Amino acid sequence: MGWIDRFKDALVHARGAYDSFAVGERYRLNSWGGTGGGFGFNPTRSRNTFAGDKTVVTSIYNQIAIDVAAVPINHVRIDVETGRYEETLRTTLNECLTLEANIDEGARAFRQNIALTLFDKGVAAICIMKADNDPATSMSYNIEELRVGEVSAWFPDAVRVLVYNEKTGNKEELTLPKRQVAIVENPMFAVMNDENSTLKRLTRKLSLLDAIDEQAGSGKLDIIIQLPYVVKSDARKQQAAARRQDMEEQLYNSKYGVAYADATEKITQLNRPAENNMLAQVEYLTKQLFSQLGIPKDVFEGTSDEKMMLNYYNRTVEPILTAICEGMERKFISKTARSQGQAIRFYRDPFKNATLADFAEIGDKFSRNEIVTGNELRSFMGMKPSKEAKADKLQNANMPNEDNVGKVKNPDGSSDKPSEPTQERKENLQNDSHENQYTKA
């Protein structure tokens, strides 16, 4: 590290800012400059590298990415011993995960971009674009901006990442140390991204099927003209070519596509539908792909029940979210912070697929068993919290408690404790008890 690099780092620390495109030249292979360019589309958006728009692959990618992005990810504090959730931290990293990851993407779009990059490339690189300190020289820094990049080259201790540069408006390459980049690998790489995976086979079969359909619908007549003479000599071949060209011009220039033929000529049409098992193979591979990805057909069509959706989330969505959280927790949270209970976690809304009737029954059971408070149930329904004191208490409203035991309601609505029994009342109770004993005897 030369004195120029040390001087630049000193300036960076002096102004208290870190920018992946402004510092760290010792890890970078290229430098950029100039003004940004204009685009008719969002250049930060992830796009498939293969021709998936004609197949079902893009729909599958998009559906899973939407379901992954629907689950919020937070920077939280947990109990180190038990692993239980304690609180959500109010940090700049949590703002990136829940509000705005960068100037172009909100939190949900950022999570969806991670999922789409995982599905298309097999690996996604979550890069720190801005921080209050340089992560290369300090472990104490606050992350202010994150972006998703594509890994273009691997090195022993660094990766070359193709990431969007908001200063120039282009996707450019950065070489960053691995300990600063959250590298997330697709847990379904063998199904989605491997060369002999089911998805790649389905893509190739669909491309062949599209080619057959285009050929069948290209407008060709595919006819054979049998001339009344033998076509062997060069003169006869030229005469046959002239006759074929004449018929093509008649069909092309005719308003209704009508041409005439000699009485001695015979025309045979060949464009009969060719039978093949390509469609059956495509249907089989599609069924296998849905099965291996853990996506039932009803889930993809939106007609599944709650149990089927739960199975889909556990088999497909949960592994992807776990890989994303583990990748960010490993790289963005130091060992000291992890020892203090800081972590990256996702928590899915358990009532998201419940109907109103089911939610009412679940809410009654949860409140009676003192699992959630009334205000917590109201927050699940999108209602503002109640100002009543008991709305924030874990208590069963159907059972007596310390607030209402031994209280008598007066006609005016007030509650008072009952007065102590008099001495005469006590003697009568004792006499009644003695009479009951003699009667039993």
pLDDT single digits (tens) 245-290: 888 888 778 877 788 888 888 877 765 554 556 777 777 888 888 8
Rounded distance, CA 358 to CA 372, Å?
16
The DSSP line for 350-412 is TTTT--HHHHHHHHHHHHHTTSS-HHHHHHHTTPPPP--GGGGS---TTS--TTTTT-EE-TT
Spell out a b/e string for 94-126, using b for 16 or more CB atoms within 10 Å of the CB, else e: bbbbbebbbebbebebbbbbbbbbbbbbbbbbb
**Cross-strand bridge partners of residue 143:** 131
For residue 118, the one-letter residue type is L
Place of tokens 């901006």: 145
167-204 pLDDT, tens digit per residue, is: 888 889 999 999 889 999 999 888 888 877 787 788 78
For residue 124, the model assigns a pLDDT of 94
Spell out a b/e string for 351-368, using b for 16 or more CB atoms within 10 Å of the CB, else e: eeebeeeeeeebbeebbe
For residue 420, the model assigns a pLDDT of 54
For residue 235, the model assigns a pLDDT of 87
| DSSP H or E stretch at residue 253 | helix 234-253
Rounded distance, CA 90 to CA 294, Å?
36
CA 256 to chain centre: 53
For residue 271, the model assigns a pLDDT of 59
For residue 88, the model assigns a pLDDT of 93
Where does residue 303 rank: exposed (0-12), middle (13-18), buried (19+ CB within 10 A)?
Answer: exposed
Place of tokens 């290369």: 136
For residue 17, the model assigns a pLDDT of 54
Rounded distance, CA 27 to CA 133, Å?
17
129 three-state secondary structure: strand
Measured over the CA atoms of residue 310, residue 316, residue 321 and residue 326, the dihedral's sign is positive
The low-confidence residues of the chain, meaning pLDDT below 50, are 14-16, 24-36, 50-52, 274, 408, 436-441
